[in-house]
Structure 1
């Protein structure tokens, strides 16, 4: 017997029908108070972020009697995004969900998300003027707003002020010197090595493609270039920026400036116990370092190639596709998102840069340290190249990490890594988006 010819879109639909009951059993709608409209809210926030979000939701639920937000927390990464795709494909999704902004472009072509209506957002005091340019612009896909950013969580540099003071790399105002070239940054690190007697920099990268990519793309973008991954085309990559960035990463991971064998956990441990003076990490590690009692400050990674750029992603709020959205619930969803953004100062306390500008521009935020010292990152954010296969939690960073790690640790083969990277991206670009019914091939 011949197998039936199915499109990838049909396969996704089949997955929903066949596995949906099992996969979503723990996500079935729960009913809120009888006199309120219940809004189902899916997110993937755990740990400290999850606790903060729960507190925000409690505050919103307690502050009014019109709607009740019912959260469902799902496992971070592939499990979450698979279930969200399945729900959107079936048109029976929650009223609102959190997505990493970098994942949104891959979900729009398949009709898995509904766009936000600008007029309705304006009615709840949200528009382009309430967000920084990079956050707002990154939320536009095909001319429509498909995500409302809650924050930016950039890749930054934390530093131990005691160690850096002993190394003579602090300015008169107590902030760290900001070198403007790779050579000067290496010199700064060497001054810190003289104090620590070990490494200057904690950077956990072994087996961690995401960490490698965050630093690499920060340095790449500082050359004044961004990569482009056009559907069905070929990757646009600046060769010199690619090779230069890898060369600097290899200079840093030399066993002296930074360990050649550091994974994520050992890098956290090294900095939190005062063994190193610098730490390349995401803002989400700020609570850990504050809790360790370090003499701590933080800033964006210095601009070493001329163009200020900071790799980041954003937790964003999206409208998963519903076949027949309830008008009242949809109206309250806009109200909920507005209230969440307006009450997100506690989100800043956890380290993230709030997307809502009135909070970032407030006197209270200016006094929030060290967060206020890297708030300028919001104006120089660089997100993943827009493509269906990029973004936080995607397999792409794991594949790229294998290419980057081997050449960074070997200290050579940079041109070969460039060609391997280009080949990888072009091979993926030649494949259709599996959730795009118009681009799906027959299998």
Structure 2
């Protein structure tokens, strides 16, 4: 999603944090419906070759096209890593193209169908099943086997999420859970101990009461964005889901979702948050010392560091429900289907995936938690003290079901949340209506994709 905002704000809003949040029903749709609207492509899978890139590349010089959606502050960090790869592998030139995520999943299938797809593509784990079903990307079982990788080398949840129809289609690069950011200046101003950020709903509300007693609205909630990672984290904590494991039912109208939206609406109604806050109000209020807290992804670590006057910290997301769970995403490397099977490029692309996985500690500069266990266990990763706070939650992360097109239903979730938060409809009415419509979308996709 392209936003005409400062880089730091764009970084925040261009993430799946706005997944299904319903910014006028359009921005959220662009994120939640990535790559699920067309019928499967005609191209067949490329024949797998090589040993996963472990042996390196000694063939003729090749140029690889690498597409991703990193149009925010993480883009330059990825380009830096690519530059380091090319220095270590001088025979492989990698041309990086960043395309806004909302456009990425329209352009990639078209390019693959026309035989002009990139050799490498980075995408969210939530898009793997859809892109696999549409034959846009190919299985990479040979890479995993060639590198002797297994589930023990990654968090179990992200490893399992990289499969579709029992084939592995992606190599996870990172995990990015939702977490809590706290403003030290504001906390001290209202008499809170900044070394003890809230960990439960009761502690969170006690902190907001302390803020309110001092005339501070401690946590700014927006009807335009709360339905993303913020509300979804609470839904998961209460045992709910956005889509069930079968990919045939939404949880929009279930009690966990109703309770979550009711809670965040109560923060506005109770004066803990201003009314009609903009979609990026949590970040704007936080960086300007107007709010004590922000719930966001680890990509905000870098923007926070860039503001010298800002005194802050981060911690695991508070348990606003019952269980230790959180919204989370993952960037994964995939190999798009190629009509022209160039063996040298296939081998070089696999070398790229292997190298990036082994050197993913550098990706922590973008705030991301490396997916590779060996990298997270390294001494080098430990220096990213803020990112290690998000590492604590990797087992909490909830991923969508491994069914193609399930995120399409969230086009109904965003507008419903906005209507509920703005008081245009009762919360339960708005969400139950969205559930009926969302379930119809899932039923259509089940028929289309045959699951």
Q: Establish whether TM, by shorter chain, passes 0.5.
A: yes
Is the Cα–Cα contact under 8 Å of residues 102 and 384 in structure 1 kept in the other structure?
yes
What aligned pairs does 1:5-154 form with structure 2 within 5 A after superposition? 9=39, 35-74=60-99, 76-117=100-141, 119-124=142-147, 126-154=149-177
What aligned pairs does 1:229-378 form with structure 2 within 5 A after superposition? 229=244, 233-235=248-250, 239-254=254-269, 256-293=271-308, 294-378=310-394
Alignment size in residue pairs = 400
Hey, what does 1:176 align to over in structure 2? Answer: 197
2:199 matches 1:216:
no
Hey, what does 2:211 align to over in structure 1? Answer: 192
Change in Cα spacing, 1:207 to 1:232, as seen in structure 2 (3 Å) is closer
Is the Cα–Cα contact under 8 Å of residues 115 and 146 in structure 1 kept in the other structure?
yes
Shift of 1:92: 4.2
Change in Cα spacing, 1:434 to 1:104, as seen in structure 2 (3 Å) is farther
Question: What RMSD in Å do the two structures reach over aligned CA positions?
Answer: 2.9
Flag structure 2 segments of 5+ consecutive residues without an equivalent: 1-36, 43-58
Is the Cα–Cα contact under 8 Å of residues 223 and 307 in structure 1 kept in the other structure?
yes
Hey, what does 1:31 align to over in structure 2? Answer: none
Is the Cα–Cα contact under 8 Å of residues 9 and 434 in structure 1 kept in the other structure?
no
Shift of 1:234: 4.0
Is the Cα–Cα contact under 8 Å of residues 199 and 255 in structure 1 kept in the other structure?
no
Hey, what does 1:24 align to over in structure 2? Answer: none
Pick the aligned partner of 2:440 from 402, 427, 432. Answer: 427
Q: Can you list the C-alpha shifts for 1:386-442, whole angstroms capped at 9, x where unaligned?
A: 444455xx6x54531110122123297222123112112112123247985x69xxx
- Look up the SS of the partner of 1:134 in the other structure: helix
- Look up the SS of the partner of 2:216 in the other structure: coil
Per the normalisation by structure 1, the TM-score is 0.81
Distance 1:206 1:321 in 2: 40
Per the normalisation by structure 2, the TM-score is 0.80
Distance 1:149 1:193 in 2: 42
Hey, what does 1:17 align to over in structure 2? Answer: none
Distance 2:111 2:71 in 1: 21
Change in Cα spacing, 1:332 to 1:364, as seen in structure 2 (3 Å) is same
Deviates more, 1:335-344 or 1:54-63: 335-344
Pick the aligned partner of 1:159 from 170, 177, 182. Answer: 182
Is the Cα–Cα contact under 8 Å of residues 213 and 400 in structure 1 kept in the other structure?
no
Change in Cα spacing, 1:122 to 1:389, as seen in structure 2 (3 Å) is closer
Is the Cα–Cα contact under 8 Å of residues 208 and 272 in structure 2 kept in the other structure?
yes
- Look up the SS of the partner of 2:328 in the other structure: strand
Q: Can you list the C-alpha shifts for 1:89-130, whole angstroms capped at 9, x where unaligned?
A: 34542211011111122122222210111x533433643222
Distance 1:279 1:371 in 2: 16
Shift of 1:230: 6.8
Shift of 1:292: 1.4
- Look up the SS of the partner of 2:417 in the other structure: helix
- Look up the SS of the partner of 1:410 in the other structure: coil
Distance 2:399 2:386 in 1: 23
Distance 1:206 1:381 in 2: 24
Hey, what does 1:19 align to over in structure 2? Answer: none
Change in Cα spacing, 1:255 to 1:305, as seen in structure 2 (3 Å) is closer
Q: Can you list the C-alpha shifts for 1:177-206, whole angstroms capped at 9, x where unaligned?
A: 312xx44422221113334x2310134x34
Is the Cα–Cα contact under 8 Å of residues 175 and 368 in structure 2 kept in the other structure?
yes
Shift of 1:298: 0.8
Shift of 1:271: 0.8
Is the Cα–Cα contact under 8 Å of residues 77 and 365 in structure 2 kept in the other structure?
no
Flag structure 1 segments of 5+ consecutive residues without an equivalent: 1-6, 14-33
- Look up the SS of the partner of 2:118 in the other structure: coil
Distance 1:56 1:435 in 2: 39
Distance 1:9 1:412 in 2: 35
